[in-house]
Amino acid sequence: MIIITYQMNKHIFTFFTLLVNTFLLQAQNLNEAHKLFERFAYADAIPIYENYLNNHDEQLAMERLAECYRLTNKSDKAEKWLSKIVKSGNSEPLFTLYYAQILQANNKCDLAILFAQQYTRQIPDDSRGKAIIEACNNLYGFSANAIEYEVKNAPLNSINDDFCPVYYNNGIVFCSDRESKKKVHDWTNKPFLDIYYAYKQSAESYSIPVLLNGDFKSHYHVGPVCFNTEGTVAYITRNADVKNNTQISRLKIFRADMIDGKWKDLKVLPFDNENYSIMHPFLSYDNQWLYFASDMPGGYGGIDLYRVMVENDNTYGEVENLGKNINTEGNEMFPHISVDGYLFFSSNGLAGIGGLDLFRSKISGTNFEKPQNLGFPINSNDDDFALVSNKNSNEGYFSSNRVGGEGGDDIYTFNRTSILLKGIVKDSKTNQPI
């Protein structure tokens, strides 16, 4: 009897030990996932969170897994976890907004409206919920009222990410992680970006892209880039070396000069700051205004659009926020100024089709008119961004991660095939509407 009791106790102790060890291992794994998440290593955190949530229902783990999928553009899986989070009744209102945005991007507008309405009741001062409702109730308008364009996938795309093209030297310069020997970016498990140049040989043909010749060396991201009209000055987005205790590498804009056929003498802009990023530069055609995006304090949302005067002596004026007509509680990025005086940019805070949409706003002196969504086929349910146009504003390029591309982000060409005219046709004799 004593032996049996001893054996039973031993078995119970062994079983209890296994349970404790399993629990400790899972807790250690969860802590590792949290550490990865907090340093933006979303791709590496995903499988650990998934494994943990197979046996647990922890709110923070679910929220962070949903964020990992949302921030790496895995919209179907983000929808699955956001649905669980929101329907649990324990989530912050922001997850309701994220869920509505993902539902819209996944072509589920009826549901998107319901959760956007819920978010609007929770946070009535945030315009993003209202923007989703407006967009989902106006899907026809994005096609019926849009300027007509012909859109094609550019023939220079790879199976990797290719995006943010700008005109340069009878061709284009763009960002890509193709054939990169750089280390992998923890956010996506893809290589860091470099800048490539491709000569345009014909309407449908480009030379093999090569690295842009310049002193742009960095272990991290390089690009996007823009140039002055003469092609003698470049402004480049680049990750800075990590110098702060957070181990976060902020994005900075550097100026470079063309010297002896090579981009040299990189200098960070004087309004740079270690506590926030500045990125996505674009110089107006008169070389007077440098536009850019930043998450600096004092803006309207996550990332806002700004501009700064470039003086004749290459100094800079005061940084100006483009204002509430342009910036929202969301993100506004990738500015471009056309020759005919329009600001083009991407936003996920204005009424759009899904993800980042492309908009344009007429510049009137120091003011910016209400932005117009460019509609189909420029915009899609996915991210559409970084549009640039030629001097006649009738053709150009933009970037998108829409379905049907060659890789993740692709470069697309567009041609303006017709102009939509609005008005009333009247009989020449009676002056009555026909």
First vs last Cα of the chain: how many Å apart? 106
What are the tens digits of pLDDT across the range 310-325? 988 888 999 999 999 9
Positive or negative: CA dihedral 26, 29, 35, 39: negative
Domain ranges of the chain: 2-143, 147-418
Q: Are 371 and 135 in contact (CB under 8 A)?
A: no
Distance CA(93)–CA(84), nearest Å, equals 14
pLDDT, position 182: 56
Q: Write out residues in the chain with pLDDT < 50, as ranges.
A: 1-8, 10-25, 421
The two tokens of residue 328 are 């929202």
pLDDT, position 6: 41
pLDDT, position 19: 43
DSSP 384: E
Distance CA(199)–CA(214), nearest Å, equals 17
What are the tens digits of pLDDT across the range 229-243? 898 999 998 877 655
CATH number assigned to the domain with residue range 147-418, chosen from the 4 options 3.30.70.141, 2.120.10.30, 2.60.40.2550, 3.40.50.1010: 2.120.10.30
Domain 2-143 indexed as CATH 1.25.40.10? yes
pLDDT, position 423: 52
Q: Beta partners for 185?
A: 190
pLDDT, position 11: 45
Distance CA(16)–CA(31), nearest Å, equals 22
Distance CA(119)–CA(112), nearest Å, equals 10
pLDDT, position 234: 92
Q: What is the pTM of this model?
A: 0.83
Helices (H), 123-209: 127-136, 139-144
User: What is the length of the chain?
Assistant: 434
What separation in angstroms does the CA of 339 have from each of 130, 191, 336, 362, 378?
Answer: 33, 35, 10, 11, 20
Q: Are 296 and 279 in contact (CB under 8 A)?
A: no
